Every structure is written in structure tokens, then in C-alpha cells.
């Protein structure tokens, strides 16, 4: 990728916003959870090419920048879009492009990798089990990063070749178990390693969470402005206002952290920014949902009201691609490596502090 | 989210400035050569303020015709964050540079601008804040200090409290009642008061650690000439409101315990920290990084001519609660009984921050007041 545009294309973002508003209604998000797939959302989103934004045209993407792709993903998080958007382009598409492998037409996913996974490669075939594979039951292609003969390779398999056992995360999004029995795999070397892949995954969750927190803050403000008790809107009570402010603070903090991490990722080394942003986002998922639920009272605990579309996603995403403890450790390790004299420059200038000054 | 925080990207010039300030501090004020302060709690040093002014690092957001440098709030942010995190003695010019000069610039007469602002930009004139009173803290409109019109000026009587640094600074901008109005927010005015005027008595209010920061300023028949009324008579409340964005949105609300973290790391350099300390350090560094981005965004809004009252209150509340959390988190990483007399800088900073920490969420607007200000902005 040669482009380093740090701001997203406005026309594209407007188009994406319209598509998500039209398709991701409360009923559709509910039905997707029940059915395991939302064909109407996928078709509308894929129809305008959104899953492949940021994937080079040369490998079958639609072009555009990483900044574009992340801006679209943020809207998907805002609208609880029940589709593998992060997985298809930003993860699978990115891995495939890094290895020069073709990106297919349909939805795709990646194997996130867990300590329990037992996949092994032999003779160009994959055997074993992998857990927590997003939307494996609904995609056409499953992409993974494998070590082969001491170097990293991207592998791509047809999803129909995998035995899929459905499983759900807290938000009811498919996080399936796949079992492979000598499945043929297309392999090509890549410069992506396991750490870079995990960071990329964490970046997608940060951006989704920034969108969800923003939506949750607005929803909570609207609800408390309309709900009356003791003869006045509950938003007038100081103790309720404290919840509203805390929720808005978390949304603002994760929003700007997602902006900073996205920008750093576009420019190059974003290891510090992504680690810090995921640590903040995962923590905010706890504190902001607590505040939002408290401000909503019993209504927020019901299936019929939309808060749970956001809060359950935040609880699920805070653990995916590393929770706050894992990323706090990463940031702490970077801080120790920087040392006391370089600690503030790390905070003020980030990953690239030496080359950028 | 109804509030608009936009990521600030530093320009090449701004990054070069950052480097310049770092090199200046390493050269002019090397670590170990002075007792560093915790953020804006640091000694007053007129000589150091003048040296900074000579570099153009006072009055950065002030027009050139008044002796400033026309560089804006973000430029100022970059310089002062380096000074604060270094623990440099910037107290003398701090308030004047942060807000008093801005108030005079925005509301003052041409004569007042000529008289005060160049001297502030030269690092010479130090200011305090004349807002709180014994019966008017968070409820500022309850102030009782009164200025009565007399021939050629005003005669002022009343008492101001918690006036930080008044025993060392030169002037303060004082909010007082100049008339009685049906709405108690009307009838308030701001006056520039020379702290060396006859009738001004400054009494120390010792801080809980025994230090002298706070003062009681008693004004008895103090004469303030007409030409020292700031802005419009009776509009003091609104003018004060705009002053608070400058007071609340800056890096001084985030960096108070910075050196505590840095010194913790310095004391433990070369020894393995263990997972708990590493995670705690990471937690703190990630939050310093994130909240700093919000704080710098507030300053960009100021440069764009906006009045980010709700945004600055949102950041101040979050940042100061975090400051207190940092002190507690670091304290639990070490097995020491903090003492102001310790031979270790880290332990002295720990002792000072434990004692000063509660003030972070009080000064510049209590958490409770800020929640109200942010809520209004969220509607």
C-alpha cells in the first residue's frame, strides 16, 4: 500500500451511514442473532462494496484506504451491524493481500488463534480444531496465519471444507469451532507475523467499540431526557447526570483513541497506539455499560429495548484480540523498554517517536 | 456523541518545538539540579519565568502587538506540557499566562492591554485568581465582596479565600458585586486589583501539609480606579464563564502525578518489575496518552474560536479523577511509608501527591459542578 491518507472519503462514509441506517434496524439485528445470518444487511453492504474497502483492486478488493475501511467499520459498530465486516476486508482481505492471494466474492473470516487451537499443517493440508472463529458458519472462505518451515504464511481454505460447530459470543454473534481433517489449503508467504495479526484484530475491535460507545452514549442521553420520574426527566437528577457524563467521557476517550490508533496504523508502526487504545476500550466497555445500564433502569435489561445490542457487543469485544490486562501489559512493557527519560516522549509521540521528531 | 473532539495531528513545526523545549530543559534545568514540582504545584521562580519569556514561551497565545507570539493554544499546550512533566518552577507566570492575559485580551480596554499584557508576556507580572469567598465556593454567584462607586473609581470591601500564590504574585482579577439585581448572576463585575494596594491584607491559609499556597485576601476600603474595570460593568459572570475553558481544559489537569510515575520507573530501572507493576504502569501510560489527546483537542477548539466549556469540563473531571487513581495505584506498588523527608525523590513525590491529591478534583471547579456543566452541553 502506497497511500497514507489519514482521513476517510466523505462520500463513502455518507453512503455507508445510509446503508447501515436503512438495513440495521432493531428487528433485523434481533433476527440475525436468531438465524445466525443477516442476508439483507450483507447484500446491501456488499452491494456497494463496503466489505472490500481498503483491499487493493489487484487482489480483488475495491481499493480505497485503510482510513476509509476503519471509518466504515466504526459506523458498523455504531449500528450493531450483524455481519463479518471487520473479518472480510480488514482481516481476511488484508492477510490475503499481504500474501498476494486472491480475495473471493463472498464473506470471509479469519482464525483468531487461541491457546486451545490444535491446527497443524502437513503436505499442504490442515488438520485439527480452532475455536472462536467469527461467522465460520456463514462465510465462504476461512483465512489463517500459519508458521511453516520457520516462516509465516497465509493460508486460505474453502469454508465448506470445514466442519463447523456453532457457538456464540455474549452478543449472540457466531464464534464457531471449526474442525479440519486434511483440508487442502492455498498457502503463500507473508510479512505479517502473529503479533501484527493480533494488533490488526485489536484495532478492528477498538474501532467497533468506539462506534458502539458513541451510540450507547446517545441512546442513554435520549432515554433519560424522555423518561420522567418524580415529575421530571431523570436526566435532571444529579446522580443520573453523573452516569451520563461518565458514559460520554468513555465514548470521547475511546473515540479519540480509535482515531489516534487508526491514524498511526495508516502511517506505519502503530504498536503502541493500538495497545493503548485496546486497553482503554476494553476498560471503557466495563465502566460505560455499567453507567448506561444504571441510567436506563429496568428498561435496559429487557430484550425489547436496543441497549443490549450495544452493551452485549461491548462485553464480547472487550475480550476479543486481547482484554485490558493483556494490553496494559503490552503498554507497560513498551514503557519499561522506553525507560524513564523517554517515557513522556512515548506518551506524546507514540510508536514512531524517534523517526517523527 | 454531541461533543466534538477531533484528533489533533502535530505539524512538523510543532514536533520541532517539542524537541526544542526538551533540549532547553535538559540543558537549563537538568534533573537532579532542582526539586521538581508535581505539575502546576511548583515553586515560584521569577528568574526562570523571565528565561522562558526570553525564549518566547510565555504569552504564546497572545497577539504580537501586545508582546505575545500569536502561536495559539495548541502551541502553548506543547510547551507547557513539557514544563509540567519536567516539574519546572513555572508558578510565577502560570495563572497570568493561562487565563488572566486571555481575560484582559478578550474584555479589557486598549489601555489595559498595553499596560498588563506585555509585562505578562515578559514573565514579569504574576497573577492570582480572585473568585472564591468564605461563603461562595461552587456557588460563585453568592459572592459578597462589593465595590461601591466613588469619585474616580471603586471602593472595595470583602474577603477572597483559597487565593493561590497571592503572597508572591502581583495582581489578581477579582469578581465582585457592583450592583444588586433581581438575577444574582447580574450585577457582578471584574476588577483588576494590585495586590500591593493600601487596604489589601494577605494572610496565609496553611495547606494541610503545612505549605504556603493558599491565602486569604482581605480588602478593606481598597480604592480601584475606574480604568481597572475589566469589560462591562455587570457582565462579570459571563466573562468569568469564558475564563474557565482556559482554566479547565489544559494539561495541568492531567499531569500532576506524572513525575510520580516517571520516578517510579527511574527508581526501578534495571530491576524486573513483575506482571502487576507492568500492567499498572501500562494502565497509567495508556490513560495519560488517551486523555492527553482529548486535552489537546480542547485547545484546538479554542484556537478555532470556539468556547468549549462543556468539553473542557468533561476532560477536567475525567483527568483529575484519573490523577487521583494514579497516585493510589502507584502507592500500592511499593512497600514504603511515604514521607516528605525521605531521601528518595520518588518517595517525597509520593508523600506530596498523597497529601495534595484530594485538591485535584476541587480546584478549578469541583467534580460536582463540572458534572452539571457537562450535562448542559450534552443536552
pLDDT tens digits, one per residue of A237-246: 999 999 999 9
Cα gap B125→B144, rounded to integer Å: 27
B158 contacts: CB under 8 Å, gap ≥ 6: B133, B143, B144, B145, B146, B176, B219
Q: How far apart are CA A256 and CA A276, in angstroms?
A: 12
What pLDDT does residue B327 have?
98
Angle at B300 between CA B312 and CA A291, to 5 degrees: 35
Residues found in chain A: 357
Among B190, B206, B235, where does a domain finish? Answer: B235
Q: What is the CA radius of gyration of chain B?
A: 21
pLDDT of residue B248: 87
Q: How far is CA A159 from CA A116, A137, B23, B43, in A?
A: 20, 8, 57, 67
Strand B153-160 to strand B214-225: parallel, antiparallel, or no bridges (unpaired)? antiparallel
Last residue of a domain, one of B235, B268, B300: B235
In a domain, B1, yes or no: no
Instruction: Based on the fold, state whether residues B374 and B285 are members of the same structural domain.
Output: yes
Q: Are residues B178 and B140 in the same domain?
A: yes
pLDDT tens by residue, A91-124: 999 999 999 999 988 999 999 999 999 999 999 9
What CATH code is carried by the domain that includes residue B320? 1.20.140.10
B2 part of a folded domain: no
Residues A75-91, mean pLDDT to the nearest whole number: 98
Beta bridge partners of A128: A180
CA–CA distance, A217 with A234 (Å, rounded to integer): 15
Q: Which of B203, B320, B344 is nearest to B264 (CA)?
A: B344
Residues spanned by the domain of B26: 12-125
Residues A259-297: tens digit of each pLDDT? 999 999 999 999 999 999 999 999 999 999 999 999 999
Q: Are residues B113 and B167 in the same domain?
A: no
Distances (CA, A) of A337 to A272, A331, A351, B269: 12, 10, 12, 10
B6 in a domain, yes or no? no
> Which CATH number goes with the domain that contains B18?
1.10.540.10
CB-based contact, A105 to chain B, within 8 Å: no
Query: Quick one: pLDDT at residue B134?
Result: 96
- Beta bridge partners, B237, equal none
**Among B5, B288, B379, whose Cβ lies nearest the Cβ of A255?**
B5
Residue the block writes with cell 480475495:
A103
Put simply, the chain B residues between 19 and 48 with a CB less than 8 A from any chain A CB are 19, 22
Number of domains in chain B: 3
User: Quick one: pLDDT at residue A2?
Assistant: 40
DSSP result, B107-125: HS-HHHHHHHHHHHHTT--
Give the sheet arrangement for strand A175-184, strand by strand.
Answer: A120-122, A125-134, A175-184, A163-165
pLDDT the model gives residue A353: 60
Write out residues 239-268 of B within 8 Å (CB-CB) of A: 258, 261-263, 265-266
In a domain, B3, yes or no: no
How close does chain B come to A53, measured CA to CA in Å? 23
Percent of chain B with pLDDT over 90: 88
- Looking at residues B157-184, what average pLDDT do you find? 95
Which region among A192-196, B76-80, B242-246 has the lowest average model confidence (pLDDT)? B242-246
Average model confidence (pLDDT) across chain B: 94
Do B118 and B182 reside in the same domain of the chain? no
- Is pLDDT of B283 > 50? yes
pLDDT bin (cut points 50, 70, 90) of residue A4 is low
H-helix or E-strand containing A84?
none
Q: What is the dihedral of CA B81, B86, B92, B95, to 10 degrees?
A: 20
- Would you call A263 and B266 a contact, using CB atoms and an 8 Å cutoff? no
Q: Give B129-132's long-range contacts (Cβ < 8 A, gap of 24+).
A: B129/B95, B129/B99, B129/B100, B129/B163, B129/B164, B129/B172, B129/B173, B129/B247, B130/B160, B130/B163, B130/B172, B130/B173, B130/B174, B130/B175, B130/B193, B130/B217, B131/B160, B131/B174, B131/B175, B131/B240, B132/B160, B132/B161, B132/B162, B132/B163
Report the pLDDT value the prediction gives residue A352, as an integer from 0 to 100: 73
Q: DSSP strand E in chain B: where?
A: 127-130, 146-150, 153-160, 171-177, 188-194, 200-205, 214-225, 229-230
Contacts of B7 in chain A (CB under 8 A): 256, 259-260, 263
Main-chain phi, psi angles of B126, to 5 degrees: -105, 145
Q: For residue A355, what pLDDT is reported?
A: 46
Residue B225 lies in a domain: yes
Scan for cell 442521553, then name that residue.
A221
Check which CATH number belongs to the domain holding B226 and give it: 2.40.110.10
| Mean pLDDT, rounded, for A165-189 | 97
Stretch (H or E) spanning A244 = helix A238-267
| A58, pLDDT greater than 50 | yes
Residues A102 and A161: their CA atoms lie apart, in Å, by 18
Same domain, B28 and B117: yes
Interface test with B, best of A234, A340, A350, A351 (most B CBs within 10 A): A340
Residue owning grid cell 458513541: A214
Tell me, what's the pLDDT at B113? 98
Long-range contacts of A336-342 (CB under 8 A, 24+ apart): A336/B265, A336/B273, A336/B278, A336/B281, A339/B265, A339/B269, A340/B262, A340/B263, A340/B265, A340/B266, A340/B269
Q: Is the pLDDT of residue B247 over 90?
A: no
Write down the residue that cell numbers 473479518 correspond to: A87
Grid cell listed for A124 = 499442504
B333 lies in a domain?
yes
pLDDT at B246 over 80: no
Residue B303 counted as domain residue: yes
Domains defined for chain A, CATH in brackets: 10-189 (2.40.110.10), 194-356 (1.20.140.10)
Confidence of residue A232 (pLDDT cuts 50, 70, 90): very high
Amino acid at each position: 500500500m502506497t497511500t497514507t491518507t489519514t482521513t476517510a472519503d466523505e462520500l463513502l462514509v455518507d453512503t455507508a451511514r445510509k446503508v447501515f441506517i436503512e438495513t440495521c434496524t432493531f428487528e433485523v439485528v434481533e433476527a440475525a442473532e436468531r438465524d445466525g445470518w443477516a442476508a439483507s444487511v450483507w447484500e446491501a453492504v456488499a452491494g456497494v462494496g463496503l466489505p472490500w474497502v481498503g483491499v487493493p483492486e489487484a487482489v480483488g478488493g475495491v481499493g480505497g484506504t485503510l482510513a476509509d475501511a476503519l471509518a466504515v467499520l466504526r459506523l458498523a459498530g455504531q449500528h450493531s451491524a450483524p455481519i463479518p465486516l471487520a473479518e472480510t476486508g480488514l482481516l481476511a482481505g488484508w492477510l490475503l493481500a499481504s500474501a498476494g492471494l486472491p480475495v473471493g466474492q463472498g464473506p470471509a473470516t479469519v482464525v483468531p488463534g487461541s491457546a486451545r487451537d490444535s491446527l497443524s499443517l502437513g503436505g499442504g493440508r490442515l488438520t485439527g480444531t480452532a475455536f472462536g472463529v467469527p461467522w465460520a458458519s456463514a462465510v465462504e472462505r476461512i483465512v489463517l496465519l500459519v508458521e511453516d518451515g520457520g516462516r509465516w504464511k497465509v493460508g486460505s481454505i474453502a469454508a465448506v471444507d470445514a466442519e463447523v460447530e456453532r457457538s456464540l459470543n455474549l452478543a449472540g454473534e457466531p464464534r464457531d469451532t471449526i474442525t479440519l481433517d486434511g483440508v487442502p489449503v492455498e498457502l503463500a508467504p507473508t510479512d505479517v507475523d502473529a503479533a501484527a495479526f493480533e494488533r490488526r484484530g485489536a484495532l478492528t475491535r477498538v474501532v467497533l467499540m468506539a462506534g458502539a460507545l458513541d451510540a450507547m452514549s446517545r441512546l442513554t442521553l435520549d432515554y433519560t431526557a424522555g423518561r420522567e420520574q418524580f415529575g421530571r426527566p431523570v436526566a435532571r437528577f444529579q446522580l443520573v447526570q453523573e452516569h451520563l457524563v461518565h458514559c460520554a467521557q468513555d465514548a470521547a476517550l475511546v473515540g479519540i483513541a480509535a482515531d489516534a490508533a487508526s491514524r498511526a496504523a495508516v502511517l506505519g508502526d502503530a504498536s503502541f497506539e493500538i495497545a493503548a487504545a485496546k486497553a482503554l476500550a476494553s476498560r471503557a466497555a466495563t465502566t460505560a455499560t455499567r453507567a448506561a445500564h444504571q441510567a436506563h433502569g429496568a428498561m435496559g435489561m429487557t430484550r425489547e429495548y436496543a441497549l443490549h445490542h450495544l452493551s452485549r457487543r461491548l462485553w464480547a469485544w472487550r475480550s476479543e484480540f486481547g482484554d485490558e490486562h493483556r494490553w496494559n501489559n503490552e503498554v507497560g512493557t513498551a514503557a519499561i523498554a522506553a525507560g524513564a527519560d523517554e517515557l513522556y516522549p512515548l506518551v506524546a509521540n507514540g510508536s514512531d517517536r524517534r523517526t517523527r521528531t | 456523541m454531541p461533543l466534538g473532539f477531533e484528533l489533533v495531528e502535530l505539524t512538523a513545526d510543532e514536533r520541532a518545538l517539542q524537541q526544542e523545549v526538551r533540549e532547553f530543559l535538559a540543558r537549563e534545568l537538568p534533573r537532579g539540579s532542582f526539586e521538581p514540582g508535581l505539575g502546576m504545584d511548583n515553586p515560584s521562580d521569577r528568574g526562570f519565568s523571565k528565561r522562558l519569556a526570553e525564549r518566547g514561551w510565555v504569552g504564546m497565545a497572545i497577539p504580537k502587538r501586545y508582546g505575545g507570539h500569536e502561536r495559539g493554544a495548541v502551541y502553548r499546550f506543547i510547551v507547557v506540557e513539557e514544563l509540567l512533566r519536567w516539574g519546572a518552577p513555572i508558578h510565577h507566570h502560570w495563572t497570568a499566562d493561562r487565563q488572566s492575559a486571555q481575560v484582559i485580551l478578550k474584555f479589557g480596554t486598549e489601555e489595559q492591554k498595553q499596560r498588563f499584557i506585555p509585562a505578562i508576556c515578559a514573565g514579569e507580572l504574576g497573577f492570582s485568581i480572585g473568585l472564591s469567598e468564605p461563603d461562595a465556593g461552587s456557588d460563585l454567584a453568592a459572592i459578597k465582596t462589593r465595590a461601591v462607586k466613588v469619585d474616580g473609581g471603586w471602593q472595595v470591601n470583602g474577603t477572597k479565600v483559597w487565593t493561590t500564590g497571592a503572597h508572591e504574585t502581583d495582581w489578581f482579577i477579582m469578581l465582585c458585586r457592583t450592583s444588586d439585581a433581581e438575577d444574582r448572576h447580574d450585577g457582578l463585575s471584574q476588577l483588576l486589583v494590585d495586590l500591593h494596594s493600601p487596604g489589601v491584607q494577605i494572610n496565609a491559609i496553611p495547606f494541610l501539609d503545612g505549605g504556603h499556597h493558599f491565602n486569604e485576601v482581605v480588602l478593606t476600603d481598597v480604592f480601584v480606579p475606574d480604568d481597572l474595570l475589566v469589560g462591562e460593568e455587570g457582565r462579570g459572570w459571563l466573562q468569568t464563564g469564558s475564563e474557565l475553558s482556559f482554566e479547565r481544559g489544559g494539561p495541568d489537569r492531567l499531569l500532576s502525578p506524572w513525575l510520580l510515575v516517571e520516578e517510579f520507573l527511574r527508581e526501578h530501572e534495571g530491576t524486573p518489575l513483575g506482571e502487576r507493576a507492568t500492567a499498572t504502569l501500562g494502565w497509567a501510560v495508556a490513560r495519560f496518552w488517551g486523555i492527553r489527546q482529548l486535552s489537546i483537542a480542547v485547545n484546538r477548539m479554542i484556537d478555532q474560536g470556539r468556547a468549549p466549556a462543556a468539553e473542557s469540563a468533561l476532560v477536567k473531571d475525567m483527568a483529575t479523577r484519573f490523577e487521583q487513581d494514579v497516585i493510589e495505584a502507584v502507592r500500592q506498588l511499593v512497600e514504603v511509608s511515604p514521607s516528605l523527608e525521605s531521601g528518595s525523590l520518588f518517595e517525597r513525590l509520593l508523600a506530596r501527591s498523597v497529601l495534595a491529591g484530594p485538591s485535584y478534583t476541587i480546584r478549578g471547579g469541583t467534580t460536582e459542578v463540572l458534572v452539571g456543566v457537562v450535562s448542559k452541553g450534552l443536552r
